């Protein structure tokens, strides 16, 4: 593999054609077991919606530092808000990532008793004062959430469950959209510093849209890092740790990283889809051989995510 990840065309699924779910389920199942990463085309997310989200992201990161800092994640809470350059190490053994990010979460409506929670995943988004930013980002959020849920129907089928298995585990998800901005690699930089250090993603699925600059690298099964060149209009989808656990490790959550390009900025938008906080993550029956025990004990999705986030921000 030279970085050419499998490409799965979802056109039939998007159009609800007969047999499409079975075909896509088989293709995703193969990619999820062998690589843990694949591209999707024909996904139904409008190019205009994506372009508007990228434009909103560029406008946000161009704001004066103080305006971004006013929305800092430790002020906003609940994993929402601005993460400045140097604040995060996706690979905690390396110097901090050379990137900045803005997180938008799945908000429950006003008056919902679970709109806030003590465990820190539920909360309310903070928005910059930028005309058009919020509607552009919310439209993109809704589009990728719908796509993520559609992909889960195929995944459930592939893992031997009913296609609707995940529906009530993703109706109030811990979903996070991250606008990401990678500055060009500076001339003098701490050795080993990357845009995003090697990591696996924490949740069920990640849907990543990148610009045409490149820099994403994926670790092959044999340990070799390969570049995953951008594919305009497509999403990179990868399996996260939580879905690997649902699948009893049948699917792989594959390490990846971002190397900042020389002399160029890079923008990407990652959408992390995690289950509802109270969903109990436990191996699907179809993934456990008769007479064998699941490889991991059950855990709530909230506890799983909290543990992974704590490690990244220099905690546990
Ligand atoms: O920006 C990218 O291309 C990838 C980012 C990523 O892997 C992450 O934020 O988890
Ligand atoms: Fe990632």
The pLDDT tens digits for 18-75 are: 999 999 999 999 999 999 999 999 999 999 999 999 999 999 999 999 999 999 999 9
Ligand 1: distance of its center to the CA of 37 in Å? 13
State the pLDDT at residue 3.
56
Q: Give the tens place of pLDDT for each residue, 227-277.
A: 999 999 999 999 999 999 999 999 999 999 999 888 899 999 999 999 999
* CA-99 nearest atom, ligand 1: 1
Cα(216) to ligand 2 centroid in Å equals 9
- Residues in contact with ligand 1 (CB, 6 Å cut-off): 178, 180, 196, 201, 208, 210, 216, 256, 258, 268, 270
Q: What average pLDDT does the chain have?
A: 94
Tokens of 110: 């006003």
**Ligand having the closest approach to the CA of 214:** 1
Report CA(177)–ligand 1 centroid distance (Å). Answer: 11
Q: Please name the residues in contact with 257: beta carbons below 8 A apart, sequence gap of 6 or more.
A: 90, 91, 194, 195, 196, 197, 198, 199, 216, 217, 225
* Distance from Cα 290 to the centre of ligand 2, integer Å: 34
Give pTM, 2 decimals: 0.96
Report the separation in Å between the CA atom of 49 and the middle of ligand 2, taken as the mean of its atom positions: 22
Residue 260 in tokens: 């900042």
Pocket test for ligand 1, best of 3, 53, 180, 237 (most atoms within 8 A of CB): 180
Instruction: Tell the residue nearest (CA) to atom 8 of ligand 1.
Output: 270
Per residue in 106-124, pLDDT (tens digit) is 999 999 999 998 778 899 9
Domains of the chain: 7-314 (2.60.120.330)
The model's pLDDT over 168-199, given as tens digits with 9 standing for 90+, comes to 999 999 999 999 999 988 888 888 889 999 99
Tokens representing 161 are 């469950």
Tell me how far apart the alpha carbons of residues 303 and 316 are, in angstroms, rounded to a whole number: 13
Cα distances (Å, whole numbers) of residue 113 to 106, 110, 153: 15, 9, 29
Distance 254 CA to ligand 2 centre (A): 9
CB atoms within 10 A of CB 118: 6
User: Cα(19) to centroid of ligand 1, in Å?
Assistant: 33
Atom of ligand 1 minimally distant from the CA of 268: 1
Buried b (16+ CB within 10 A) or exposed e, 190-209: eeebbbbbbbbbbbbbbbbb
How large is the ipTM?
A: 0.99
Q: Pocket of ligand 1, candidates 211, 268, 274, 309: which has the most ligand atoms within 8 Å of its Cβ, to mutate?
A: 268
Which residue's CA is the nearest one to ligand 1's atom 10? 201
Name the residue with the closest Cα to ligand 1, atom 1: 268
CA distances from 63 to 13, 57, 70, 100, 308 (A): 40, 10, 11, 12, 30
Instruction: Name residue, tokens 């900042």.
Output: 260
Work out which ligand 1 atom sits closest to the CA atom of 206. Answer: 10
């Amino acid at each position: 593999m030279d970085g050419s990840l499998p490409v799965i065309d979802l056109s039939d699924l998007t159009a609800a054609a007969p047999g499409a779910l079975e075909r896509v389920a088989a293709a995703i199942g193969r990619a999820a077991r062998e690589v843990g990463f694949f591209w999707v085309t024909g996904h139904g997310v409008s190019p205009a919606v994506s372009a508007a989200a990228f434009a909103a992201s560029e406008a946000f990161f161009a704001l004066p530092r103080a305006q971004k800092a006013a929305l800092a994640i430790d002020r906003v809470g609940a994993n929402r808000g601005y993460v400045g350059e140097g604040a995060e190490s996706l690979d905690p053994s390396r110097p901090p990532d050379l990137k900045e990010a803005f997180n938008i979460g799945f908000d429950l409506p006003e008056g919902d008793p679970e709109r806030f929670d003590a465990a820190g995943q539920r909360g309310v988004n903070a928005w910059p004062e930028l005309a058009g930013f919020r509607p552009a980002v919310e439209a993109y959020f809704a589009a990728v959430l719908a796509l993520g849920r559609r992909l889960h129907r195929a995944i459930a089928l592939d893992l031997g469950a009913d296609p609707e298995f995940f529906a009530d585990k993703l109706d109030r998800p811990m979903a996070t959209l991250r606008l990401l901005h990678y500055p060009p690699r500076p001339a003098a930089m701490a050795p080993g510093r990357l845009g995003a250090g090697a990591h696996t993603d924490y949740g069920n699925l990640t849907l990543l849209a990148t610009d045409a600059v490149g820099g994403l690298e994926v670790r092959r099964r044999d340990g070799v890092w390969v570049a995953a060149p951008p594919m305009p209009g497509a999403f990179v989808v990868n399996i996260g740790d939580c879905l690997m656990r649902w699948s009893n490790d049948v699917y792989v959550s594959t390490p990846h990283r971002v190397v900042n390009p020389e002399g160029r900025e890079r923008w990407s938008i990652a959408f992390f889809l995690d289950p509802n906080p109270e969903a109990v993550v436990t191996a699907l029956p179809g993934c456990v051989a008769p007479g064998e025990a699941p490889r991991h004990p059950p855990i709530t999705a909230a506890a799983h995510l909290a543990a992974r986030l704590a490690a990244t921000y220099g905690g546990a």
